[in-house]
């Protein structure tokens, strides 16, 4: 699934040690859509390396690809929205000097409109949290 919008909040990074003794970190972000009736969606990125790779800042416009997973813990249900890929819309391309050879001059085509970030892989590779 995917959602497009603006990051309106970056929540504090959380972390700990799993039952298996592995260190874990996650970061949560709140994205607001640009729909007629804007929605706010809180999603997470799991893993210190993925958090650093995404480098999400407040105010950024993003397309977030995510998985939704719900699980039961002690009679209650919890839902996680875990991002596995983040894309940033490209800003206006800088103007080149006249006569300068650029890929656009050599082979005109519909330029991609998105700057792609690397795929994060599985949402929760080590899922040993208590819920």
Q: 3-state DSSP: the chain helix, strand, coil percent, rounded to 5?
A: 10, 45, 45
Q: What is the pLDDT of residue 125?
A: 53
- Residue 54, judged by CB atoms within 10 A of its CB (0-12, 13-18, 19+), counts as buried
Instruction: Identify the CA nearest to 60 among candidates 38, 37, 86, 88.
Output: 88
Ordered per-residue pLDDT tens for the chain, 131 residues: 999 999 999 999 999 999 999 999 999 999 999 999 999 999 999 999 999 999 999 999 999 999 999 999 999 999 999 999 999 987 544 454 444 444 444 444 444 455 555 566 655 555 555 55
Element (H, E) at 46: strand 40-46
Q: Which domains are present in the chain?
A: 2-91+109-116 (2.40.50.140)
Q: Which of 50, 30, 13, 52 is nearest to 126 (CA)?
A: 50
| Residue 90, pLDDT score | 77
Tell which residue, 36, 55, 40, 35, has the closest CA to residue 8.
40
pLDDT confidence of residue 115: 54
pLDDT at 126: 54
């Amino acid at each position: 699934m995917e959602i497009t919008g603006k990051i309106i909040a970056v929540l504090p990074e959380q972390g700990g040690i799993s039952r298996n003794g592995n260190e874990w970190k996650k970061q949560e972000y709140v994205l607001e859509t640009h729909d007629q009736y804007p929605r706010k969606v809180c999603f997470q990125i799991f893993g210190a390396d993925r958090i650093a790779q995404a480098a999400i800042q407040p105010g950024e416009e993003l397309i977030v690809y995510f998985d939704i997973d719900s699980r039961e813990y002690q009679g209650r249900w919890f839902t996680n929205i875990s991002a596995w890929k983040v894309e940033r819309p490209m800003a206006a391309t800088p103007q080149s000097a006249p006569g300068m050879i650029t890929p656009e001059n050599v082979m005109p085509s519909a330029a991609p409109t998105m700057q792609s970030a690397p795929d994060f892989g599985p949402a929760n590779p080590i899922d040993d949290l208590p819920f």
